Structure 1
């Protein structure tokens, strides 16, 4: 592991690169009560999204592919990411949140992450 920056205990080159990207993004992205942070966590099978107020350290709204409404949804992972974005936008609107700061969690803005962001924007979130 000489010369590599590990992210947690994961030391694969992909995990190290994601860790670097994540730290680079988090240097600049901070959620306030006026514009909370939209956090994306991606696993191989599922997608988890939260809207967090960093000043208080509270999760205001969350959605994931593990929700009962989306658990049995048909389609590939990108289609499910779109549904998660729509669900999150609806829940955020119900909570009175209209503008957020996007934290992609070190993931590249492509595929499921882009689909989630686009559908959340279409649902009324501004970021």
Structure 2
């Protein structure tokens, strides 16, 4: 029986999240969500259950509203790294969810690393 794209996506997401939770050691999680029109990212403290910092391509201040490309992802990643520094976070785990580490997700991760986040 063939698996649907959604089923495969959910399996990938849970496999990735379970590996992260085993190694977390109290570090926050950098969670990425990519849709067909936007990309958003959150820095989440799973112990306290709060979002420390967030950035999205829907923010007018970033100047990439309505764009979903590699350049927009890089700007979102840089903005999140800057906000994480202000919040006092230097290390985190990268949670790509069920998305492949390629293209927009990779550009976001590289920009966040260049901004000073370690993962």
Structure with higher Rg: it is 1
Q: Distance in 2 between matches of 1:65 and 1:16?
A: 27
1:72–1:107 distance in 2 versus 1, CA, 3 Å: closer
TM-score (norm 1): 0.84
TM-score (normalizing by structure 2): 0.89
Q: CA deviation at 1:71?
A: 4.4
Could you say what the CA RMSD is over the residues aligned between the two structures, in angstroms?
A: 2.0
State the SS of the aligned residue for 2:42.
strand
Matched residue count: 117
- Stretches (4+) displaced over 6 A: none
Give the equivalent residue in structure 2 for 1:102: 94
Alignment counterpart, residue 116 of structure 1, candidates 96, 105, 108? 108
Greater fraction of residues in helix: 2
Q: Post-superposition shift, 1:76?
A: 5.8
5+ residue gaps in structure 2?
A: none
Can you give the 5+ residue segments of structure 1 that lack an aligned partner in the other structure? 5-12
* C-alpha distance in 2 between matches for 1:54 and 1:32: 11
